[in-house]
Amino acid sequence: MVTSEPHTLQEGIEQAGHRLTYPRQAILDLVAQHPDGFTAEEVCAQLPQVGRATVYRTVKLLLDLGLVCKMTGPDGAPRYTLSVAGHHHHTLCVRCGAAADFQRCTVDLILQTLRAETAGVILGHRMEVYVLCPRCLEQEETTSSGSPT
């Protein structure tokens, strides 16, 4: 079992037969430091030495390799986060964007019902739960009671 489940982004890239170049390494490092998720533009901003095209390409590569997940904010803004194994979805903080996984996907129940009702074929689904994360919630409360401008 040499080339099984990659445990790091680097491994994933190399196992897929892609070169681990400097720009990629930089992006991977940055991404790994943001378990809460990130946007492509955030990466661009923090790595001015790396070209925008390369950032987008690398994110897409990670996406194709299943190493990161693509999420959609309330306004449709795309956001990415490190992927975990297995079927899962995310909660997304509407304020800071922090993402968290949740595995329990009882969507299957809904799909079963749908499958029985529709003559078409179900291919997949998307689900996102929008939250105010504990940290932002706390801030919100502090602000509203503290300094009522």
Partner DNA sequence: ACCGTGGTTGATACTCCGTCTCAATAATGC
Partner DNA sequence: GCATTATTGAGACGGAGTATCAACCACGGT
Interface contacts to DNA, rule CB under 7 A: 18-24, 39-41, 49-54, 56-58, 60, 77-78
CB atoms within 10 A of CB 58: 24
CB of 112 to DNA, least distance (A): 32
Q: What is the DSSP string of 37-89?
A: -B-HHHHHHH-TTS-HHHHHHHHHHHHHTTSEEEEE-TTS-EEEEE--SSS-E
Judged by CB under 5 A, the residue of 95, 100, 101, 139 near Zn ion is 95
Kindly tell me which of 29 and 140 has the beta carbon lying closer to a second copy. Answer: 140
Kindly tell me which of 75 and 117 has the beta carbon lying closer to DNA. Answer: 75
By CB under 8 A, tell whether 47 contacts a second copy: no
CB of 57 to Zn ion, least distance (A): 28
CA atoms within 13 A on the CB side of 64: 9
